[in-house]
Structure 1
Amino acid sequence: MAVVIGAGVGGLAVAARLAAAGHRVDVVERAATHGGKLGAFSRDGFTFDTGPSLLTLPQVFRDLFTDTGADLDTALDLRRVDPACHYRFADGTTLDVPHDADAVPGALDAALGPPAGEQWAALMAGAARLWDLVGEPVLRNPLGGVTDLVKRATNLRDLAAIAPWRTLHGLGRGLDDLRLRQFLDRYATYSGSDPRKLPAVMSVVPYVEQRFGAWHPAGGMRRLADALLQRCTDLGVRFHFGTEVVAVETDAAGVVGVRLADGERVADRTVVSDADAGNLYGHLVRDRRARGPLRALRSVRPSLAGFVLLLALRGRTEDPRHHRVLFPDDYDDEFRSIFGKHPRPVPDPTAYVCSPGDPGSAPPGCEGWFVLVNAPRHEPGSGVDWDRPGLADEYADLVLATLARRGLDVRDRLRWREVRTPADWERDTASPGGSIYGSSSNGPRAALLRPANRSPVPGLHLVGGSAHPGGGLPIVTLSAEITARLIGPA
């Protein structure tokens, strides 16, 4: 038997793998439903995904379904997103990034002018080498510390290529065009991080997106969570929604089970946590063997948070795009605002607009937009208090005005809006301050040496965005693969 804390994507994936390996699995989830940050919202005939807008590395999910006795393509209709994303820069330049990696340099030259394409192709060639070094070999295997990472590099040349002291922003200084540098820096936000602190090795993120393509399930990203839930149910996993774990209990030999908010105890020698690692080690586990990971976590910052508008719009947008990114004049100020000593809502934020146009996602003649801007976490007293009266509506108005300045004025089409602040995400998902991606990757240790999947407390394991190998849908799914392999068959 195994107990899984949390029914996010990592929790669902590890539950499926453990059940397929013969374990009797119980998943305990404090929320009323499954999926964690991969959520959905419906109102008046509009349905919005409230989490990720694209799926990368689809093979990771095919492997999960195959390994547990099913076929992903039967459970989910994955479709190419082409162009993968539409970008608008502050000077009005636009760029459509093709689904096909080989076509990206030509698109960059057409939008930004030579030598943008040649420089990007050279950068991606280096990223391909990094992917060989620290991509799948690290992402699919446990990593216990610096020594394990060094072992992955077979010679000094490999270590120099990894260059943990170099940042993504620093790597971008080799690109001539400011717009191309912004395009590169944007990939830091895939892990909720600051490009000025994110190790340059994370240039593998755009490489992966372009090499393996951008995808979207027909019917919305929430369908992925539903498919994972069904896979677990078919394998006999039992779910307990609206049930909060308040403690992981231990004895001298290790884990003995979990204690629930109502006082009930669930006894088991195998516990997997899909909760934030800081919450696990800081609040749920009271065991001296957990002190080491807790000390290490004190030097790691949670990822940035998100401020979201769900917009119900009359009419249809001309020249629609699945995913748009609208850059500000001063992109660096976004990261100064969020990660600086005195965090503040970004005064001129980058706007991310997702409108996949799935049939049935809006009433006839209408469309729904998911609009995200990066935001500082909810930290009353020391940072931004997103519950301050009036702040959410004021900032929502600012975001709509920002869209209008960048050529997407939808204020006269607006039927209604729903606002989700970092404080709302914290309450809904139990993520510290509403951090979207678990821990940030600001610095080599945070990026490459997250809390291990096997805890120092025997029988306690971790999955999810705050554990190795990191955040993002395919990556947390790989954390489940690692953890299930560590636990082994029943």
Structure 2
Amino acid sequence: MARIAVIGAGMGAMAAAARLAVAGHRVVVYERTQTYGGAVRRFERDGFRFDTGPGLLTLPAVYRDLFVKTGREPLEDCVGLVQVDPSSRHVFADGTEVSLPNASRSGVVAALDEALGAGTGERWGAFLVRAREAWDRTRRPLLEEPLWPNWQVLADKEPYPAVPHRRLLRTRHARTLSEIGSLELRDERLSALLESSALACGLDPRTAPASAAVLPYMEHAFGTWYVRGGMRELARAVYERCVRRRVEFVFGAEVVRILEKDGRAVGVELGDGTATEADHVVAGVAPARLKALTECPLDADGDVRADPSAPRPGRFTVLLALRGGREPGAAHRTVVHPPDPQAELDFLGSAGGDEPPRPTVTVLRPDDPALAPDDAHESVVLSAVVPAGAGWDREGTVRRYTDHLLEAAGRALPGLRERVLWQEVRAPGRTDDGASDFPGAVTAPSLAAGQGRFLHPANTTRLPGLYRVGGWSHPGGGLPHAGMSGALVAGLIVEGPEFRGSQ
């Protein structure tokens, strides 16, 4: 039985802890805040409840596997997992809108043809076929296996297939997600639909590799899911599974140093000076913080994977307590597209300015009575992805951007402003509850191609005995990817360096 010290109680860290405990190891989790879940948090006031982190789940099989492998209770016995239908409603700048059925290719094709015109559905359906090919080529190395030592092969080759053009007697290979839109979809609204999936992950579709086509494909193929009571209930279920497997949690305990001896990680030191020995250390923290906890480089020189010092996009969120109940048939998720998407992307790629443009806004309206005090009220979450350093410390900038989100949401929810009882605004870096080293930061899943700039640091490090877990490490950000990072780290510790992932 090995002693495992886990730094942080985020979703990936808890997934690793539960699996390691089932394997017979003694696991202690040190969390500097007073609760678990990392960015999967909840805000409550006056009987209203809001998810302040992820609002939906894709690839629920990741957590189903976690619960199967760590006990006899399946996931659905621990949380109320429901499929969201429609998967999303989209309101475009020209006034057209479409609701996309959940996990139904034929339904999506028919909906697009009816709403956007004949042929649009066929083009989107053909794109999904090619996106599936990219998914099949990258699923194992980018989700189910530890990052290959020769990861450069993932960085150099674009897995998204080229499209033949009969008239030109040649094929054209889209290099970026935006080029897929212009070369293959040939409709501004379809391009907006495609690019919004990348933008939601903090990616600029103009620079994101074409392999990012797997992002909308995952939603299409595996569905979009919600946890009754809010996504915080998923964090609660994972935490309780850890406790039942005798994982020990120490809250309010900040790790200030990873102890090293003879070139190996041998424990952690806490802020109160306490030192704890361990055979393995699992760190679920951001790269910059992990670097500060160690005394040696953790990666090879010249590593071009995701730069830990690069600015991260953040999420600007407005929590709304509304008078009046949710009308029957309202979409759980509505995406409102802006009139000038290029201005939004320019803003996202800059340091921001005094006049932020109107963004792509996601409106979440769960059909969940647990989130409001009664049927005569509704809780709604508005969000947009923004540059982290865009003057969010200035009240004027925050106020203008809040107005942008409310204006956009009004297109999806008429009469919105008259219904507002109160609102809570959360801008990047302004609401620090200790849940993250970069409050509000958005981390994307790992992607192939792009010279490796869209891969994340490996779960192993150059310091034996030290492992990385969670959205800042392979296979990247998002609830399913964080859960898979926990599975990968547990496999590497239990089976050793020869571990090659789930079969």
Instruction: Tell me if TM exceeds 0.5.
Output: yes
The 1-side partners of 2:446 and 2:173 are apart by 15
2:392 aligned residue: 386
Q: Kindly tell me: are residues 439 and 184 of structure 1, through their superposed partners in 2, closer, same or farther at Cα, counting changes over 3 Å?
A: closer
The 1-side partners of 2:111 and 2:55 are apart by 22
The answer to whether the 8 A contact 1:278-1:294 is kept is no
Q: CA deviation at 1:475?
A: 0.9
The 1-side partners of 2:154 and 2:440 are apart by 35
The 2-side partners of 1:266 and 1:161 are apart by 54
Q: CA deviation at 1:399?
A: 2.5
Say whether residues 1:429 and 2:429 are aligned partners.
no
2:116 aligned residue: 112
The answer to whether the 8 A contact 1:396-1:419 is kept is yes
Q: Kindly tell me: are residues 315 and 342 of structure 1, through their superposed partners in 2, closer, same or farther at Cα, counting changes over 3 Å?
A: closer
Say whether residues 1:484 and 2:490 are aligned partners.
yes
Q: Kindly tell me: are residues 24 and 225 of structure 1, through their superposed partners in 2, closer, same or farther at Cα, counting changes over 3 Å?
A: same
Q: CA deviation at 1:137?
A: 4.1
Say whether residues 1:130 and 2:134 are aligned partners.
yes
Q: Which of 277, 289, 293 is equivalent to 2:287? A: 277
The 2-side partners of 1:293 and 1:454 are apart by 17
The 1-side partners of 2:383 and 2:326 are apart by 18
Say whether residues 1:454 and 2:460 are aligned partners.
yes
Q: Which of 34, 51, 54 is equivalent to 2:53? A: 51
The answer to whether the 8 A contact 1:15-1:25 is kept is yes
- Matched residue type, 2:472: S
1:179 aligned residue: 189
2:225 aligned residue: 215
**Identical aligned residues as a percent:** 39
The 1-side partners of 2:298 and 2:443 are apart by 26
Q: CA deviation at 1:407?
A: 5.5
2:166 aligned residue: none
1:65 aligned residue: 67
Q: CA deviation at 1:343?
A: 5.7
Q: Which has the higher helix share?
A: 1
Q: CA deviation at 1:447?
A: 5.6
2:86 aligned residue: 83
1:3 aligned residue: 5
Q: List aligned pairs for 1:367-446, cutoff 5 A.
A: 367-377=378-388, 379=389, 384-404=390-410, 408-425=414-431, 428-432=434-438, 434-437=440-443, 444-445=450-451
Q: Kindly tell me: are residues 443 and 123 of structure 1, through their superposed partners in 2, closer, same or farther at Cα, counting changes over 3 Å?
A: same
- Matched residue type, 2:92: F
Q: CA deviation at 1:295?
A: 7.8
Deviates more, 1:386-395 or 1:110-119: 386-395
The 2-side partners of 1:15 and 1:212 are apart by 26
- Matched residue type, 1:139: L
2:501 aligned residue: none
Deviates more, 1:441-450 or 1:80-89: 441-450
Q: Kindly tell me: are residues 360 and 449 of structure 1, through their superposed partners in 2, closer, same or farther at Cα, counting changes over 3 Å?
A: closer
The 1-side partners of 2:476 and 2:125 are apart by 26
1:429 is paired with a residue of what secondary structure?
A: coil
The 2-side partners of 1:457 and 1:164 are apart by 40
Q: Kindly tell me: are residues 297 and 361 of structure 1, through their superposed partners in 2, closer, same or farther at Cα, counting changes over 3 Å?
A: closer
1:312 aligned residue: 321
Q: Give the TM-score normalised by structure 1.
A: 0.91
RMSD: 2.8
Q: Kindly tell me: are residues 39 and 95 of structure 1, through their superposed partners in 2, closer, same or farther at Cα, counting changes over 3 Å?
A: same
Q: Kindly tell me: are residues 331 and 311 of structure 1, through their superposed partners in 2, closer, same or farther at Cα, counting changes over 3 Å?
A: same
Gaps of 5+ in 2: 164-171, 497-503
Q: Give the TM-score normalised by structure 2.
A: 0.89
2:35 aligned residue: 33
The 1-side partners of 2:221 and 2:118 are apart by 22
Deviations 1:211-249 (A, max 9, x none): 111111122111100110011000000111122112222
Q: Kindly tell me: are residues 150 and 443 of structure 1, through their superposed partners in 2, closer, same or farther at Cα, counting changes over 3 Å?
A: closer
Q: CA deviation at 1:92?
A: 1.2
The answer to whether the 8 A contact 1:4-1:11 is kept is yes
Q: Kindly tell me: are residues 239 and 345 of structure 1, through their superposed partners in 2, closer, same or farther at Cα, counting changes over 3 Å?
A: farther
The answer to whether the 8 A contact 1:346-1:375 is kept is no
Q: Kindly tell me: are residues 480 and 299 of structure 1, through their superposed partners in 2, closer, same or farther at Cα, counting changes over 3 Å?
A: closer
Deviations 1:50-97 (A, max 9, x none): 111211111111111111123112112211100011110011111101
Q: Kindly tell me: are residues 129 and 456 of structure 1, through their superposed partners in 2, closer, same or farther at Cα, counting changes over 3 Å?
A: same
- Matched residue type, 1:104: V
Q: List aligned pairs for 1:357-376, cutoff 5 A.
A: 357-364=367-374, 365-376=376-387
- Matched residue type, 2:10: G
2:430 is paired with a residue of what secondary structure?
A: helix
Say whether residues 1:326 and 2:336 are aligned partners.
yes
The answer to whether the 8 A contact 1:308-1:420 is kept is yes
The 2-side partners of 1:371 and 1:284 are apart by 36
2:479 aligned residue: 473
The 1-side partners of 2:9 and 2:278 are apart by 18
Q: List aligned pairs for 1:336-375, cutoff 5 A.
A: 336-340=346-350, 342=352, 346-364=356-374, 365-375=376-386
Q: Kindly tell me: are residues 99 and 435 of structure 1, through their superposed partners in 2, closer, same or farther at Cα, counting changes over 3 Å?
A: same
Q: Kindly tell me: are residues 22 and 149 of structure 1, through their superposed partners in 2, closer, same or farther at Cα, counting changes over 3 Å?
A: farther
Gaps of 5+ in 1: none
The answer to whether the 8 A contact 1:164-1:201 is kept is no
Aligned residue pairs total 481
Q: Which of 227, 230, 240 is equivalent to 2:237? A: 227
The 2-side partners of 1:409 and 1:69 are apart by 48
Deviates more, 1:98-107 or 1:35-44: 98-107
1:480 is paired with a residue of what secondary structure?
A: helix
The 1-side partners of 2:262 and 2:13 are apart by 26
The 1-side partners of 2:242 and 2:108 are apart by 38
